[in-house]
Amino acid sequence: MNNIFPGLPLIESPMFPALKAEWELTEEEERIADDLHEKGYAVFNFPDTELDSRINRIQQHLGPHYGIDFDNPASDKTVGERRVQDAWQFDEDVRAIAANEAVIDLLSKLYGRKAFPFQTLNFPVGTQQDAHSDSVHFSSLPERFMCGVWLAMEDIDPNAGPLFYYPGSHRWPIMTNALIGRRGYGSDLNSAQDPYGPAWRALCEVHGAERELFLPSKGQALIWSANLLHGGSCQHDPALTRWSQVTHYYFEDCIYYTPAFSDEAIGQLDLRNLLSISNGERQPNKYLGEDVHPSKIVKSERKSTFRKIKRKLIKSIGIYFD
């Protein structure tokens, strides 16, 4: 496929219609690609014949981690821990869902680079998280090579704090520190999302955007693109559960970093040291096929200091050297 912009995921490329004409996609893959391109999310049936038994085992195994009384239908399920991060490290079913080969193949096809899962979150209830895009937590260089897959592990009740999202918001400016005039490197935050809330609210207002709720049946999943604005709506009935798993994916041959704690323009990147959930191996930060080490970034800072001194010398005594 002749792709003039390999630095953009295929589904986010302005050349998407032309690329699609050359792509070999099934009807279902084409629907998913169209939805991601136009709306920034796509719904699909999770391709795993053992899903029901995996879900049962996950609920049994992770249940005690939350400190919630699941046996009493009337108990408040929103007390205690609302999530377990990276349960894939000790729960084979969480790992199998994250590393599902059919999902990885689909994502790799849609993005044009090989996908790998790097983080799991398991929720027994709604998160009630404010609207945000995951790109302030996890981004890549080139940008947009990240996505989330949200899997419903039961039928989701409208009063259980369903996931919400703003269709089309993936096309809005990507939220960065430069955009809101903030320095991030070395900063300390309770939540990486905090500084950007007013900016996201302003974008929603100016676009007159309306949120949509995701009310899936058990076994349905939703892919969201890196810059789609989403969150968890208010859980009106605290006695309900909302079992779900989110897996976050990156794509190979990128730099992986946390934008909330980075200032990209001056080379200050809060790099991530990632493991692929698929094989447990480290996924090096790469740029155009070559490994990128944090020392290289520091080195280029040193280089620019050297350049400054050099320029001063040239100006003051007319010496030139290279």
Ligand X SMILES: O=C(O)CCC(=O)C(=O)O
Query: Using CB under 6 A as the criterion, which residues of the chain lie in contact with ligand X when the complex forms?
Result: 121, 123, 126-127, 129, 134, 148, 163, 230-232, 244, 246
Compute the least distance from the CB of residue 139 to ligand X, in Å.
13
- Kindly identify the residues of this chain, within the stretch 183-242, that bind Fe ion according to CB under 5 A: none
Compute the least distance from the CB of residue 164 to Fe ion, in Å.
11
Nearer to ligand X, 148 or 216 (CB): 148
Selected range binding Fe ion among 46-54, 131-139, 200-208, 250-258, rule: CB under 5 A:
131-139
Q: Closest residue (Cβ) to ligand X?
A: 232
Nearer to Fe ion, 147 or 292 (CB): 147
Q: Closest residue (Cβ) to Fe ion?
A: 134
Q: What span, in angstroms and rounded, lies between the C-alpha atoms of 312 and 318?
A: 9
Element (H, E) at 247: strand 244-251
* Spatial CA neighbour of 154 closest among 212, 220, 96, 213: 220
Compute the least distance from the CB of residue 127 to Fe ion, in Å.
8
Distance of CA 137 to the CA centre of its chain: 8
Strand order of the β-sheet with 244-251 is: 41-45, 220-225, 146-152, 244-251, 115-123, 84-85
Nearer to ligand X, 51 or 226 (CB): 226
Nearer to ligand X, 19 or 107 (CB): 107
Contact flag: residue 134 with Fe ion (CB under 5 A):
yes
Q: DSSP class of residue 107? A: H
Q: What span, in angstroms and rounded, lies between the C-alpha atoms of 69 and 220?
A: 26
Nearer to ligand X, 112 or 126 (CB): 126
HSE-CB of 190 using CA atoms within 13 angstroms: 1
Considering CB distances under 5 to 8 angstroms, the limit depending on partner class, which of ligand X, Fe ion, none binds residue 127? ligand X
Q: What span, in angstroms and rounded, lies between the C-alpha atoms of 17 and 139?
A: 25
Length of the chain, in residues: 322
Nearer to ligand X, 242 or 292 (CB): 242
- DSSP H helices in the chain: 16-22, 27-39, 51-62, 92-98, 101-111, 177-180, 197-207, 294-317
Compute the least distance from the CB of residue 277 to Fe ion, in Å.
18
Nearer to ligand X, 148 or 184 (CB): 148
Distance of CA 183 to the CA centre of its chain: 22
Strand-pair partners of 152: 244
Q: Give me 4's structure tokens.
A: 């003039």
* Spatial CA neighbour of 148 closest among 211, 48, 36, 225: 225
Compute the least distance from the CB of residue 127 to ligand X, in Å.
4
Compute the least distance from the CB of residue 171 to Fe ion, in Å.
18
Compute the least distance from the CB of residue 51 to Fe ion, in Å.
22
**3-class SS of residue 27:** helix
Considering CB distances under 5 to 8 angstroms, the limit depending on partner class, which of Fe ion, ligand X, none binds residue 121? ligand X
Residues that bind Fe ion (CB under 5 A): 134
